[in-house]
Structure 1
Amino acid sequence: MVKHAPGSFSKNFAWHGTGLRKLHIVIRAGFQDTLATVPRDRFREDSGLDASLSLIPVNFFLHNKAGRMSVDELVFQAIERPHSIRFDRLALFALHLNRVGTGQRVVSRPAMWANEFVRERLWQSGVWRSSALSDASLDPFITDRMDAQLDVRVKCRNNYRHLYELCEFWPTSLPVINAQAEQWIASALFLAWDRHILDGGPSDRASLVDLIDSDELYKLLGVTRGFALAQAGDLADLYGSVGGIERFREAKTALTPTTPPPPKPAPEIPEEEGLEWLEQEESDEVVERRTVERQEQKRNRKKAAALKQHYDNTCQFCGTKLQISEDRYYSEAAHIKGLGEPHSGPDKASNMLVLCPNHHLQFDRGILRIKKVGGDYVIRSKAMGDPLNGQKITLTHSLDDVCVNYHYRWFGSKR
């Protein structure tokens, strides 16, 4: 088993309480708010970090080639977007990607132990497992993979886990971690492809899509292989249409956003022939609302159809009954606990709600949740000023409280 050097990973990643927001600030300062390569030494001078910390962003998060700091999707996001939790998650992905350039004084894979940890321990059966981040799991793995004294290994462990805390992935009371990759997979794949090409890799579409498997990018994203592959084709086409890595050279004179739109999950295929399911008539906008757990499931649509008929296609949150023709109405059956991996929720009416398309999307993304208060189920909304927040829902079928509690905790993050 190969043991890796810790480098400067043992230094304090808290950055005086600013966390990865400091990295965002450092990138903007080091690149002088421009999408142009900059000499490594000048970047360090302009970054605003003191000498003891200056190597951390250069060595572990950013890409440099031939003595110059490269412009890629991570740099773009820092310069063109305000700091956000999505930037932090993209930065963690950059660390795990472990492609930081080539040349003198450059260690091309400086945190390979972290990359191996995600691929071998954290990711299991299509999702990140929270138990892998415990001391009992992290310590023996780092001991096995890192050539360092005990005190250095402990510092590295604490710094590494702190990154998950900054990204609001940990701690969690659930056995699995909600990576929320649908919100940042496009930027992550753009970043992976940028660095692949910067390191001399081919830029054709097939080679880019192949990285999903060859570099096991799906594991670094915390999703199933099928979900990553379902997005990769369209995103590779989009990547090519905006110029690939060349998009930043064109942006020097006229900056244009390159962040791709949200990924579009594959439509579901009805399992039973001869039934006129409304889902067959869904537009692209409705298909986009489907989340990964319902892409890979096999469900009995008769149960969903029966529940929608029971509620007369009326949204249980807002009371909307969406008419789509003279005599047809449309609603959607939302599973509370997802059926596919990693949730493995039950396919039964007590794990379903009947919702309008808008509130189905918000429920699937965790903007809307329900909580049992006494004998009632109350809507909790993260949307500012949402009139649904605190509203009781009227039920004429029973709900599985285990599923309700699971959904509420799964989307427990504040952001």
Structure 2
Amino acid sequence: MAKYAPGSFTKNFAWNQHGPGLMRLHTTIRAGYLGALATVEREAWRANSGIDDASLDLIPINFFLHNRAGQISVDELVFQAIKRPHSLRFDRLALFALLLSRVGNPPGKAEARPFMWANEFVRRDLWQSGDWRSSALLDTNLDRFIKDHVNGVKDSLVKCRNNLRGMFEYCGYWPTSLPTINSGAEEWAASALFLAWDRHLLDGAPATEAALLDTVKTEELYRLMGVEEAWLAPMAATLLGEYLDAGGIRRFQVPAATSAPTTPAAPPPRAPTSTPAAPARPKPEIILAELLDEQGLDDAVKRTIRQAAVQKRNQRLAAKLRLGYGHRCQFCRRSLQIGEGRFYSEAAHIKPIGLPHDGPDKMSNMIVLCPNHHIQFDHGILRIVKDGARYVLSSKIEGDPIHEKLLLLKHKLDDVCVNWHFEWWEKAGR
């Protein structure tokens, strides 16, 4: 069995001393690139990074970023760090970049795929039957895997274990009492696909649909995201067209502004006339990556999730439930009127049906909601807490008037689904 070198991953980067999650990485990337989406010479990046330790400043460029011909490349991870504030979404994308383990061709003894032991751990041990299994992150299981796959003395192997699990802690995945880990991939899967395709193109792969789609399967990206292949594959097929239309890795290039015309030699003096205003210097167009991030990626993910959930839904049950509540939202107790004597409501599944959750399509797994509260419930902003025989609403929005109000209830709920929804979004960091 091949074993890997741990490299500088055994060092203590002191992540938790510089803000929540991977904020230090986010800040360091911004500093290293001087806040611009342009490649930087490797040594200049290290000098700009603000990391005083000459060994610690290798961690971002040797494990998270991409190296090519002495330059640090620009890709989706860099874009998200520079153009977006630090967030849990960034942290989880950064963890994906770390696990993807494609950092180009760094100089010296640094490896092109320096974290393949962790990549194998996630694909072989952590991922099982479409989910990440939390038991794989226990000491005994991690230690056994690392001992078999990493070269090093005991102290180095323990540091590898603690630092890898620390990454999952910073991303809100650990610790957990649930048998499976909610990777929250619906929030960052689109950016992760773009990042994986960026790295493959930067490494010289052909920019063809077949080659890029093939990476989803051959690299087992779905395992690195903690989802089923059947969930990710149609999303990748949808997003690839947008990725290529935007120029692939070239989407970060901003068209150069038209230079101002050269000033000719002054003509002979003439009678004074009014001086025309100088033509305005054209502004660079918005980069396609930013336009896609604002409008395209999340919508494509939502379309795919909706399509997967449509399968075999029992419309009669949903209609019966809505009529039973008179189209009154069980959260706010209001009815949305859409015409004379006509009202509108939506039947929301507590545990989603279809991939990847496979919740039951039965009335006890449904509640009647208005459109606004349906969206908030599906995103974990609103949750239901079982309190004895009562069901109490919990809102993440400060000052929300329905927080701690009782759920309007005329039918029996499946407590397994109710508890699943609460715990699922609890571990997603909502």
TM-score, normalised via structure 2 length? 0.85
Quick check: 1:99–1:108 contact (8 Å CA) kept in 2? yes
Q: What residue in structure 1 maps to residue 262 of structure 2?
A: none
Instruction: Provide the C-alpha distance between the structure 1 equivalents of 2:358 and 2:199, rounded to a whole number of angstroms.
Output: 35
Quick check: 2:239–2:297 contact (8 Å CA) kept in 1? no
Q: What residue in structure 1 maps to residue 298 of structure 2?
A: 262
Quick check: 1:65–1:102 contact (8 Å CA) kept in 2? yes
> Could you say what secondary structure the match of 1:102 adopts?
coil
Q: What residue in structure 2 maps to residue 132 of structure 1?
A: 136
Quick check: 2:31–2:49 contact (8 Å CA) kept in 1? yes
Which piece of structure 1 moves more, 316-325 or 191-200?
316-325
Return closer, same or farther for 1:394/1:348 CA change in 2, 3 Å cut-off. Answer: same
Instruction: Provide the C-alpha distance between the structure 2 equivalents of 1:376 and 1:124, rounded to a whole number of angstroms.
Output: 35
**Which residues in structure 2 correspond to 1:5-404 (within 5 Å)?**
5-15=5-15, 17-18=17-18, 19-49=21-51, 50-102=53-105, 104-105=107-108, 106-250=110-254, 253-256=284-287, 257=290, 258-259=292-293, 260-264=296-300, 290=306, 294=309, 298-323=312-337, 329-340=343-354, 343-404=357-418
Return closer, same or farther for 1:227/1:370 CA change in 2, 3 Å cut-off. Answer: same
Residue 114 of structure 1 deviates from its aligned partner by 0.8
Return closer, same or farther for 1:398/1:262 CA change in 2, 3 Å cut-off. Answer: same
> Could you say what secondary structure the match of 1:290 adopts?
helix
Residue 289 of structure 1 deviates from its aligned partner by 7.5
Q: Which amino acid aligns with 1:9?
A: F
Return closer, same or farther for 1:374/1:306 CA change in 2, 3 Å cut-off. Answer: same
Residue 80 of structure 1 deviates from its aligned partner by 1.0
Instruction: Provide the C-alpha distance between the structure 1 equivalents of 2:341 and 2:222, rounded to a whole number of angstroms.
Output: 44
Instruction: Provide the C-alpha distance between the structure 2 equivalents of 1:326 and 1:391, rounded to a whole number of angstroms.
Output: 30
> Could you say what secondary structure the match of 1:369 adopts?
strand
Which piece of structure 1 moves more, 36-45 or 371-380?
371-380
Q: Encode CA deviations 1:170-222: one digit per residue, 9 max, x unaligned.
A: 11121111111111111111111111100001112232222211211111111
TM-score, normalised via structure 1 length? 0.88
Return closer, same or farther for 1:412/1:152 CA change in 2, 3 Å cut-off. Answer: same
Return closer, same or farther for 1:125/1:326 CA change in 2, 3 Å cut-off. Answer: farther
Instruction: Provide the C-alpha distance between the structure 2 equivalents of 1:318 and 1:290, rounded to a whole number of angstroms.
Output: 25
Residue 99 of structure 1 deviates from its aligned partner by 0.7
Q: Encode CA deviations 1:263-287: one digit per residue, 9 max, x unaligned.
A: 4458xxxxxxxxxxxxxxxxxxxx6
Q: Which 5+ residue runs of structure 2 have no aligned equivalent?
A: 257-283
Residue 72 of structure 1 deviates from its aligned partner by 0.6
Instruction: Provide the C-alpha distance between the structure 2 equivalents of 1:144 and 1:341, rounded to a whole number of angstroms.
Output: 34
Quick check: 1:176–1:342 contact (8 Å CA) kept in 2? no
* Length, aligned pairs only: 393
Instruction: Provide the C-alpha distance between the structure 2 equivalents of 1:189 and 1:55, rounded to a whole number of angstroms.
Output: 25
Which piece of structure 1 moves more, 333-342 or 168-177?
333-342
Quick check: 1:126–1:219 contact (8 Å CA) kept in 2? yes
Q: Encode CA deviations 1:225-248: one digit per residue, 9 max, x unaligned.
A: 122112112211221222211122
Q: Encode CA deviations 1:330-381: one digit per residue, 9 max, x unaligned.
A: 4322222234455454333222211223222211211110112343211111
Q: Encode CA deviations 1:145-182: one digit per residue, 9 max, x unaligned.
A: 11111111110110010111111011112111111111
Return closer, same or farther for 1:318/1:289 CA change in 2, 3 Å cut-off. Answer: farther
Which piece of structure 1 moves more, 302-311 or 111-120?
302-311
Instruction: Provide the C-alpha distance between the structure 2 equivalents of 1:95 and 1:337, rounded to a whole number of angstroms.
Output: 31
Task: Give the share of equivalent positions with the same residue, in percent.
Answer: 57
Instruction: Provide the C-alpha distance between the structure 2 equivalents of 1:382 and 1:8, rounded to a whole number of angstroms.
Output: 39
Residue 62 of structure 1 deviates from its aligned partner by 0.5
Quick check: 2:2–2:149 contact (8 Å CA) kept in 1? yes
Instruction: Provide the C-alpha distance between the structure 1 equivalents of 2:255 and 2:391, rounded to a whole number of angstroms.
Output: 50
Return closer, same or farther for 1:298/1:145 CA change in 2, 3 Å cut-off. Answer: farther
> Could you say what secondary structure the match of 1:119 adopts?
helix
Q: Which amino acid aligns with 2:231?
A: F
Return closer, same or farther for 1:188/1:251 CA change in 2, 3 Å cut-off. Answer: farther
Q: What residue in structure 2 maps to residue 280 of structure 1?
A: none
Larger Rg: 2
Quick check: 1:331–1:354 contact (8 Å CA) kept in 2? yes
Q: Which 5+ residue runs of structure 1 have no aligned equivalent?
A: 267-286
Q: Which amino acid aligns with 1:45?
A: A
Return closer, same or farther for 1:289/1:232 CA change in 2, 3 Å cut-off. Answer: closer
Quick check: 1:173–1:409 contact (8 Å CA) kept in 2? no
Instruction: Provide the C-alpha distance between the structure 2 equivalents of 1:85 and 1:75, rounded to a whole number of angstroms.
Output: 15
Residue 261 of structure 1 deviates from its aligned partner by 3.3
> Could you say what secondary structure the match of 1:250 adopts?
coil
Which piece of structure 1 moves more, 102-111 or 362-371?
102-111
Q: Encode CA deviations 1:68-97: one digit per residue, 9 max, x unaligned.
A: 100111111111111111111110000111
Quick check: 2:384–2:391 contact (8 Å CA) kept in 1? yes
Quick check: 1:336–1:351 contact (8 Å CA) kept in 2? yes
Q: Which amino acid aligns with 1:203?
A: A
Quick check: 1:66–1:102 contact (8 Å CA) kept in 2? yes
Return closer, same or farther for 1:316/1:36 CA change in 2, 3 Å cut-off. Answer: same
Q: What residue in structure 2 maps to residue 276 of structure 1?
A: none
